[in-house]
Amino acid sequence: MPCFTPSSSVSGAGGPIVVFDVNDDGLLDIVVGDGPGTLGLSVCLGDGSGVVDSACFVESIADVPSRLVSGDLNDDGRVDLAFVSGNGVFAALGDGDGNFAAQQLRAPPPPMGIPPRAFVLARLNAARPPVVLVENGDRFDRNVSTVEAYACESGGVTFSSTTLLSVGSADTWNTLGVADADGDGDDDVFEKEDSVVFLRTSSPEGLSGRTVVGFFSFPDPISTDVLAFDRDDDGIAELVDPESCGEGVAGTFVLGDVDGDGSTDAVIAGDCLLTRGFAFHLADLGGRGFANAGIGDLDADGRADLVVTGPDLAVLRAGGD
């Protein structure tokens, strides 16, 4: 059975989190979208032991991200960031030394507009860099809800935008998720409209028409992300009930091998851990519920550790039998 042990914390850091090697030293670091008293990204360097230095440095972007994702957006071998804030949608290309240059991809929504309900990174074609998928909804036109794909060419520094698909309306269409649902190595797109989940598979020609793949009673239809991942190691992602740990436990999630068995596990905001064949409450394992989370093997023991906020940042080192 997995368990978690708190190892360090940073007071006042309460925003979205990603975990990756910021400065190319072979050690995983933590980037927080809202550090203590900052308008920028707090970068907390790891030392390989699972302990985070509370003296995080700030990469100023003069903004406070509400959603944050990481990945190599232009296939140059360096990890980049994309984020959403009240000022719009941005990409921040990294230089491999811990510096990020932010550029606006989309202007902020109009007054009374709604921020993106969906914001994910997807590699829809393995031969090309991943794209940033952003939902656009507008309270002034309730029949408008589209997903824009922002892409950068390999080795490039500028992004182009295309309308990937139109779904439902701004009132009924909620969010989406991405995972490889057909085993071809490319991400496919799951859409959630109220309690119905649809799937569109990807190909070099684009996305297919959508088919119904699930019906769930989501406790919060606005913020609950679509969870699909390869839980049984067959190479194909399965749609997972967001209430697998019980009623009211659902939300955003992170994926990683928490118990060190070589299989992917899911940790869901609230208080839920899904491993292969089992569901646990984090509180029963020494963990805690959270608002945001990142995941990565910070102490190099073969188990993915959690970095959570709610309200402060804390590292929960994974262990167990």
The burial class, CB within 10 Å (0-12 / 13-18 / 19+), for 177 is buried
Each residue's pLDDT tens digit, 104-161: 888 776 555 566 777 899 999 988 999 999 877 655 555 557 888 999 999 999 999 9
8 Å CB contact between 297 and 303: yes
What pLDDT is attached to residue 111?
A: 55
Which of the listed ranges 173-177, 264-268, 272-276 does the model predict with the highest average pLDDT?
Answer: 264-268
* Amino acid letter, 174: N
Question: Is 206 in a helix, a strand, or coil?
Answer: strand
What pLDDT is attached to residue 149?
A: 92
Each residue's pLDDT tens digit, 35-85: 545 567 788 888 888 877 666 776 666 567 888 899 999 999 999 999 888
As a whole number of angstroms, the distance between CA 59 and CA 11 comes to: 18
As a whole number of angstroms, the distance between CA 215 and CA 255 comes to: 22
Residue 215, pLDDT > 60, answer: yes
DSSP conformation class of 114: B
8 Å CB contact between 41 and 33: yes
Residue 178, pLDDT > 70, answer: yes
What pLDDT is attached to residue 290?
A: 74
- Residue 107 CA from chain centroid, whole number: 21
Cα dihedral 54→59→61→64 (10° resolution): -20
As a whole number of angstroms, the distance between CA 7 and CA 10 comes to: 11
8 Å CB contact between 183 and 160: no
Tokens of 235: 């190479």
8 Å CB contact between 267 and 280: no
Question: Is 282 in a helix, a strand, or coil?
Answer: helix
DSSP conformation class of 51: P
Confidence band, pLDDT 50/70/90 cuts, at residue 221: very low
| Higher-confidence position of 209 and 13 | 209
